[in-house]
Amino acid sequence: MNEQEIINAAFEDLMNSLRKETTEENRQLIREAFQLANEAHKGVKRKSGVPYILHPIAVAKIASVEIGLGTKSVMAALLHDVVEDANYTIEDISMLFGPKIASLVDGLTKISGVMGMNTTKQAENFRKIILTIADDVRVILLKIADRLHNMRTLDSLPEHKRVKIAGETLFIYAPLAHRIGLYAIKSELEDLSLKHENPDEYALLQGRVQRYRYDNMDFVQRFISPIRERLIENGYKFEIVTRTKSVYSVWSRMQRENITFDEILDILSVRVIFDPKDDQPEKWQCWHIYSLVTDLYSPRQESIRDWISVPKSNGYEALHVTVMRPGGGWIEIQVRTTRMDDIDEKGLAAQWKYRKEDADPISELDKWLINIKEMLERTDSGALELLDDFKLNLFAKEIQVFTPKGDKKTLPKGATVLDFAYEIHTELGNACIGAKVNHVLEPVSHVLHDGDQVEVLTSDTQVPHGDWINFIVTAKAKHHIMATFRKERKEQIRKGMVIFENLLSKTDNTPTQELLNRVLLHLKLGEKDDLYLGLFKQQISTEEVRKALKRKSKNKLMHYWKLQFFKSDKERTSSNGQTANTGNNKETEQNDDIPNVIIAPDCNPIPGDDVVALKIDEGKIIVHKRKCPEAIRLMASHGDRIVPVKWVSYKVVSFLAAIRLSGIDTIGIVSEITRVISKENNVNMRSVHFDTKDGIFDGIIYLYIQNTADLTSLMTRIASLNGVEKVIRVENIEAGEFSSRK
């Protein structure tokens, strides 16, 4: 087929996927939108070489099939790049297709200018994106569809662009999809991000998850068979499907809990999806099916999750329970109606579809959108602070708490009495002195739990305290407290800066950015304001600063290895006026001694780790592990600063690493472990610390190693010893830990 035949076939596939109720009049409008977009993008190709128009067609199909949007959204998806890439204006779109389509296209165009493929200041402009949600949430649904297709076709871009887009997707778009209720899309975005940020780990885990599913399918079918018989006996129309955790979900849990793949017990789950009977309430039928399942298999009581009585704020409804399977081991059962399953897959669009006339016009999701708009309309928050606050509001697990009159409030897990007070009203938060939680007096810092009933206590003499910021978790409370102290904080920072400058003059140092960076790095501080505040409050002593000033700024570690940096397309072009034509389309720089490179102290990467570099002040570059949370945050907010980098070679020198291990405390186990270590040629022990309790040992060993390959080999040998149950690498080593265990 020629190009136009491929385009026509893709468009006909889109038309065949539209909702059945789409009228012929609406189908004609979609055809007209396609004709305009096809003409506007004629001759334009994507990086992969395919016609550009295939992208908006694919986005429109995702919007229709995977999100469940209607005619206007499909038309906007087809037209979403026309204004940016062709000689059309929003006014032209309005004249041809009406103001609503023009409004959607305009919203998508504004977002693309902020979070598009070539964005350079995501955090600074992020406010524009989410403000669009409150105007018409379909804009962000379409942008998620656009991002999903870009992620599916990311392979054609160079590595540094893939890493930037993947980091941005993982930090913002996946949580946003989750919050709006698009669970399937959220999972795919996370998996695709992991695939491009950590390709080796993704490939390994993907294979293990697939093998686990294949190896357990016979068992699952035997497990399902009695459930199927009971449901048929009780007259239910249903389907039973099995699902495995996403690769990213497995990976993130392994990272978060420091556990192995084999220690994750709920990789497989079973979902019962049924058509409810007309003569009985949905909720009653879900609990009836639950009782049928638990008649067959014993439930784990603490695992019951009732999101039918109290749905999640993103609209999710289901009944979860974990039961003991034959032969031992747990498996999760999810019970839901076809309506609930549709909402889980298509999120907000499905909620609109099923919303009842007598339903509360303001849902929990509507309230969240209102709160987000209020947060983003504040002009006194810094860009990164704003991004962090929004992220907190996106992905936090939730609890439901109640006022004395029984009104329900949704708060993030970990919220305190003070968060609750500010959630009700600013003045109530400012005057809060404590609360009666379930009729028991508790302080403002008391952490609330699901189902608590809270009566806030106030005093006319109470004012906000600076230490409140240390235990509140909601962005709303944080904003109001910070607003109170922002003026005071500025004055403290000014006085702290004077202290620092006086110290410099006494030590005959000239104030420079390099000198300031050296002090911040030595004290492990992120911002200069942290230094000034610490000096003013005497949390940082002048003696500590003097020591930092005496340290040499040169990064001695960089003598011991070689890093290879990759120039971006823009840099290659600007360096000689034309794009360099190398064998792999990459121009590289190599240097054995790069004094401007800093190894991030929070994640401490060593040769062999997957790393990413980011430009910081004064032309310096900081190297993080790719999976470091701070690196992901920075890549999402400052994607233009990413510098692709990899280890090329290193000299024989040792780096400090730590492993944690546990197992059964048998006689001689510690001697056996240390004997294995002593036999390794390239590994030396710095310190060993073991604790035992009730026949179980837990230990941490600090080692000097040359690279990750040596460390992995050693961990494998230790794990093979009888009695050793777990061996893991301690990823983030605090300097204080070393001194305490010498």
Q: Cα separation of 447 and 441, whole Å?
A: 13
Provide mean pLDDT across the span 568-583.
Answer: 38
Looking at residue 636, its pLDDT comes to 62
CA dist 591 → 565, 574, 648 (Å): 9, 21, 10
Provide mean pLDDT across the span 732-738.
Answer: 46
Look at 42 and 626; give whichever has higher pLDDT.
Answer: 42
Place of tokens 């809060």: 432
Looking at residue 589, its pLDDT comes to 39
Look at 184 and 510; give whichever has higher pLDDT.
Answer: 184
User: Poorest-confidence range of 55-64, 307-316, 569-578?
Assistant: 569-578
Q: Cα separation of 737 and 299, whole Å?
A: 42
| Amino acid letter for position 544 | E
Looking at residue 86, its pLDDT comes to 74
| Mode of pairing for the β-strands spanning 645-650 and 621-625 | unpaired
pLDDT confidence band for 455 (50 / 70 / 90) = very high
Q: Reply yes or no on whether the pLDDT at 551 is more than 80.
A: no
Cross-strand bridge partners of residue 662: 698, 726
Looking at residue 740, its pLDDT comes to 35
**From the CA atom positions of the chain, what is the Rg in Å?**
29
Q: Cα separation of 677 and 670, whole Å?
A: 11
Provide mean pLDDT across the span 68-83.
Answer: 90
Among all residues, which ones are annotated catalytic? Answer: 84-85
Provide mean pLDDT across the span 564-589.
Answer: 40
pLDDT confidence band for 572 (50 / 70 / 90) = very low
Q: Cα separation of 11 and 17, whole Å?
A: 10
Q: Reply yes or no on whether the pLDDT at 379 is more than 60.
A: no
Q: Reply yes or no on whether the pLDDT at 117 is more than 70.
A: no
Look at 628 and 680; give whichever has higher pLDDT.
Answer: 628
Q: Reply yes or no on whether the pLDDT at 131 is more than 70.
A: no
Looking at residue 389, its pLDDT comes to 56
Check if the beta carbon of residue 723 is closer than 8 Å to that of residue 695: no
Per cent of the chain over pLDDT 90 is 26
Of 604, 611, 680, residue with least CA distance to 648: 611
The pLDDT tens digits of the residues spanning 689-734 come to: 888 887 888 889 888 777 777 888 888 888 888 888 888 888 765 4
Contacts of 406 (CB under 8 A, 6+ apart): 453
Q: Reply yes or no on whether the pLDDT at 123 is more than 50.
A: no
Q: Reply yes or no on whether the pLDDT at 626 is more than 70.
A: yes
The pLDDT tens digits of the residues spanning 164-173 come to: 788 878 877 8
Residue 466 phi, psi dihedral angles, 5° rounding = -60, -35
Provide mean pLDDT across the span 81-108.
Answer: 85
| Mode of pairing for the β-strands spanning 432-437 and 305-306 | unpaired
CB half-sphere exposure, 203, CA atoms < 13 A: 4
* Residue environment code for 236-249, b if the CB has 16+ CB neighbours within 10 A, otherwise e: bebebebebbbbbb
Q: Is 449 left (phi over 0), alpha (psi -120 to 50) or beta?
A: beta
Looking at residue 85, its pLDDT comes to 73
Q: Reply yes or no on whether the pLDDT at 256 is more than 50.
A: yes
Q: Reply yes or no on whether the pLDDT at 121 is more than 50.
A: no
Contacts of 66 (CB under 8 A, 6+ apart): 145, 148, 184, 185, 345, 346
Looking at residue 311, its pLDDT comes to 81
Helix 24-40 to helix 90-97 angle (10° resolution) is 150
Check if the beta carbon of residue 459 is closer than 8 Å to that of residue 500: no
Looking at residue 582, its pLDDT comes to 30
Looking at residue 394, its pLDDT comes to 55
Looking at residue 30, its pLDDT comes to 94
Looking at residue 226, its pLDDT comes to 95
Q: Reply yes or no on whether the pLDDT at 544 is more than 80.
A: yes
Of 60, 82, 55, residue with least CA distance to 70: 60
Of 375, 369, 334, 377, residue with least CA distance to 348: 369
Looking at residue 683, its pLDDT comes to 73
Q: Is the pTM higher than 0.75?
A: no
Looking at residue 11, its pLDDT comes to 94
Q: Reply yes or no on whether the pLDDT at 613 is more than 90.
A: no
* 385 C-beta neighbours (distance < 10 Å), count: 15
The pLDDT tens digits of the residues spanning 356-371 come to: 544 455 555 566 666 6
Looking at residue 251, its pLDDT comes to 92
Check if the beta carbon of residue 104 is closer than 8 Å to that of residue 72: yes
Provide mean pLDDT across the span 517-526.
Answer: 74
Residue-level length of the chain: 742
User: What mean pLDDT is reported for the chain?
Assistant: 79
Q: Cα separation of 530 and 540, whole Å?
A: 10
| Mode of pairing for the β-strands spanning 432-437 and 440-442 | antiparallel
Check if the beta carbon of residue 585 is closer than 8 Å to that of residue 611: no
Looking at residue 398, its pLDDT comes to 76
CB half-sphere exposure, 249, CA atoms < 13 A: 17
What is the DSSP secondary-structure string of 412-467? ETT-BHHHHHHHH-HHHHHTEEEEEETTEEE-TTPBP-TT-BEEEEE-TT----GG
